[in-house]
Amino acid sequence: MAQETNELWTFGRLLTWTTDYLRDHGSDSPRLDAEVLLAHAVGCERIALYTRFGEPAGDAAREQFRELVRRRAAGSPVAYLVGHKEFFSLDFEVGPDVLIPRPDSEFVVLEFLRVFKTAPQVSAIDIGTGSGNLAVAIAKQHAGVRFHAVDISPAALAVARRNAERHGVSDRIEFLEGDLFGPAPPGLEVDCIVSNPPYIAAGDVTQLPVGVRDFEPHLALAAGATGLEVVAAIIAAAPGRLRPGGQLILEIGAPQEFDVRRLVEQQGGYSLQPTIHDYAGHPRVVSAVKIADS
């Protein structure tokens, strides 16, 4: 840690010192960060730390913890430091090749499950699957769904495949490398398309928090001059891939609700559904149904 003293470094003392240190270095959740990093260094569940506050930390664990804290203070996201992140109550492998799954994306999963909860079989495409969090979480909850999960990054697809295997759904998800709908089988029509696409304007990337700007893959973040280029491409191409009555479920940036809904209306062939708001009350998911005679 900072300066070594003769005082014993117990788990409790490490957590107290590190919480203050990370708070001073800009962490929004310094205590949680400290607990997650210490549990990782020690090799235990975070909850187990609460019964070990008075226990001395071994030299090896303390050295590993010190390095993790140093990197966290420099801006590296905790999820990348420990190599995993919870999403929809599932543990996902993550790394610098994929975006870190965020709670707001759970609303895409919830909308899919709401729409198709009584459907025994559902075919779907996940555009920009990244870590595979959307496709894997949905497949884990709905035994009748089969996905084509697409990403332009082979490294991201490798992570997604491991996550599908970890959660026992790899037999129902086909991972495809390529851009948007390009690698999907010709003529494939599905019941649903989900996506958390890049939606940050290229010029706004420098304004993002350091953990996002300097560590998460820009390929999965930035989407041209307006931030709507990828969203617009998905909206335009989706009717050709959706069966009549099929659903498009898109995660969006909160300020983009009006623009995305306008793009859907201008495209035609869709029936717009009410915008879904996230845990903070911000617009987060735009959903639209393909009109049967489009």
Within-domain flag for 2: no
21 and 142, same structural domain? Answer: no
Give the three-class secondary structure for 282.
coil
Within-domain flag for 184: yes
Within-domain flag for 254: yes
8 A C-beta contact, residue 286 and residue 267: no
8 A C-beta contact, residue 217 and residue 198: no
135 and 15, same structural domain? Answer: no
Give the three-class secondary structure for 112.
helix
165 and 70, same structural domain? Answer: no
Last residue of a domain, one of 21, 39, 74: 74
Q: Write out the chain's pLDDT in tens, 294 residues.
A: 444 455 688 989 999 999 999 999 989 899 999 999 999 999 988 888 988 888 888 889 999 999 999 999 999 999 999 999 999 999 999 999 999 999 999 999 999 999 999 999 999 999 999 999 999 999 999 999 999 999 999 999 999 999 999 999 999 999 999 999 999 999 999 999 999 998 888 888 888 787 788 778 888 887 888 889 999 999 999 999 999 999 999 999 989 999 999 999 999 999 999 999 999 999 999 999 999 764
58 and 141, same structural domain? Answer: no
Q: What is the DSSP string of 224-269?
A: TTTS-HHHHHHHHHGGGTEEEEEEEEEE--GGGHHHHHHHHHHH-S
140 and 24, same structural domain? Answer: no
159 and 51, same structural domain? Answer: no
68 and 22, same structural domain? Answer: yes
The identity of residue 139, as a single letter, is: A
pLDDT in tens, 255-290: 999 999 999 999 999 999 999 999 999 999 999 999
Last residue of a domain, one of 20, 51, 74: 74
92 and 41, same structural domain? Answer: no
Within-domain flag for 4: no
217 and 139, same structural domain? Answer: yes
Within-domain flag for 83: no
Residue 219: the pLDDT is 81
Tally of structural domains, the chain:
2
Give the integer Cα–Cα distance in Å for 137 and 125.
14
How many residues are recorded in the chain?
294
Can you read off the two tokens belonging to residue 180?
């948007």
Helix 11-24 and helix 59-73: axis angle, to 10°?
Answer: 10
Within-domain flag for 79: no
Within-domain flag for 161: yes
Within-domain flag for 54: yes
Structural domain including 232 reads 88-290
Residue 108: the pLDDT is 97
135 and 31, same structural domain? Answer: no
Helices (H), the chain: 11-24, 30-42, 59-73, 78-82, 106-116, 133-141, 154-166, 210-213, 229-237, 257-267
Give the three-class secondary structure for 124.
strand
